[in-house]
Amino acid sequence: MKYFDYRAPDGDPKKNAKVSAVGFGGMRFPVKEDKSIDFEAASALIDRAYEAGINYYDTAYPYHGGTSETFFAEALKKYPRDSYYLADKLPIWLLESADDVERIFNEQLERCNTDHFDFYLCHAMSAKRLEALEQFSVLETLEKLRSEGKIVRLGFSFHDTPEALDKVLSAHKWDFAQIQYNYLDYTMQDAKGQEEVLNRHGVPFLIMEPVRGGALVNVPEKAAKLLSESGEGSVPSYAMRFALSANGVFCALSGMKDSLALEDNIKTCTDFSTVSEDERKLLAKVADIIIAARLVPCTECRYCDGCPSGIDIPALLKLYNGFMTTEDKKTLRAEVDKLSARPVSCISCGACTSVCPQHIDIPATMQTLAKLTEKRQ
C-alpha cells in the first residue's frame, strides 16, 4: 500500500501523519433490502481494507441515515485506536443555534465510540455557508474542542467554485480540505482551479469522488475501449491514479460497496504510479466522450433522500445515465416499473435541487424520464 506524508500547514509535527493512498468512505456500504447497512458484508470489507493497510476511515452525520458512524464504531472496535485515522463531519446545514455545534459533535463522539477525531471537517462548505460559521460561532467552538484534544486536525469538505474556495480558505487557518476531483470534473467543475487555489494557500487535501460515484467505472463503451487498448489497468484504476497524481493530495476516498471495488483499489494503490502526460491526454478524450453522452453528474451521495413524492432520485438518475449510454428504452421502462414511485410523480418542489452538491436540475431530468417511460411508443 502506498502512503502519503500529510504535513500540517502550520508546521506542527504533532499533526503529521502517514495516510494510505486510498481511504474508506462510509457513504456507500452494501445494504439489505430495507436499505440498512449489511453489517456482515460491510464488516468483511473493513477487515480486508485494514489488513491491506488502509488506515483512513471517513464518515459523516447523515451517511446511511445516520448509521454510518455507529457502523464504523462496531467494525473498527477490534483494532487499536491509534492504528487508524477516523474522520467525521459537522453538518453545517442542520445548525439552528451555536449550542448545536457541540451537541452534534458530542453525539458523533458517542456514535463513533471514540474520544477524539483525527480529522474533523465542516461538511459541504460553500461561500454561502461561511455565513453560518460566523452566525453560530462554529470555528470558535471547534477550536475549543481542539484545545481539549477532541479534534487533531480541522478542515472542511467543499462543493463550489475556486473563487468560493479562496474565500473559505481565507476565513481560517485550516489544516486540510476535501474536494471533488477526478478527470471528468477536472474541467467540468474546475477541480483544476480548486487544486491551484489550495496549492496557493499551502493547504493539503483529500479527494472525494475519484470515480464520480461509479460514473468513471461504468463509462460508455467507446471510452472503455479506448482505455482497454491503451494499457493493462482497469477502467477505475485510471481514475484513481489520476486523482492521486494531483499536486497536494494525501488521500483519495472511495466508497467501496463490494470486494471487486476494494481489491481493485488495493491493487492500484499497491502498484501505484502517477499518470503520464500521454495518459492525461487519453483521459481528456475519455472525459469528452462521457460529456458528449450528456450524462447527469449524480454521485449517489443521497443528500436528496426524503423526496415528498417518495421518488428514489439516485436510482432514477442512474437509470437515466444507463439509457443515455445504451439508448435501450425497453430496459429503461422495465427498470422504472420496478420502482415504487415513477418520475411522473415529481411535483417540481425543488427540495432536491437545493441540497444537490452537483447542482443537477433534477425536476427537469424527471420530466425527461417521464416522457421516455410513460409514453408507450
C-alpha cell at 237: 484504476
Helix (H, G, I), strand (E, B) or coil at 200: helix
Q: How far apart are CA 238 and CA 38, in angstroms?
A: 29
Cell numbers 445516520 correspond to: 66
Tens-digit pLDDT profile for residues 157-188: 999 999 999 999 999 999 999 999 999 999 98
Find, among 209, 202, 129, the residue nearest to 164 by Cα. Answer: 129
Where, residue-wise, is CATH 3.20.20.100 in the chain? Answer: 3-292
Cα separations in angstroms, 118 against 16, 180, 337:
11, 21, 45
pLDDT tens track, the chain, 377 positions: 999 999 999 999 999 999 999 999 999 999 999 999 999 999 999 999 999 999 999 999 999 999 999 999 999 999 999 999 999 999 999 999 999 999 999 999 999 999 999 999 999 999 999 999 999 999 999 999 999 999 999 999 999 999 999 999 999 999 999 999 999 999 989 999 999 999 999 999 999 999 998 889 989 889 999 999 988 899 999 999 999 999 999 999 999 999 999 999 999 999 999 999 999 999 999 999 988 888 888 988 999 999 999 999 999 998 998 888 777 888 899 899 989 899 999 999 999 998 998 889 999 999 999 999 986 54
Per-residue pLDDT, 376? 52
Give the single-character DSSP code of 94.
Answer: G
- Letter for the amino acid at 286? V
C-alpha cell at 339: 420502482
Per-residue pLDDT, 328? 82
- Letter for the amino acid at 288? D
Residue partners of 42: CB distance under 8 A and separation at least 6: 29, 30, 71, 75
Domain 3-292: CATH class, spelled out: alpha beta
Per-residue pLDDT, 375? 60
Q: Which residues of 334-349 are buried (b: 16+ CB within 10 A; e: fewer)?
A: ebbeeeebbbeebeee
CA dihedral 231, 236, 241, 243 (to 10 degrees): 140
Give the single-character DSSP code of 274.
Answer: P
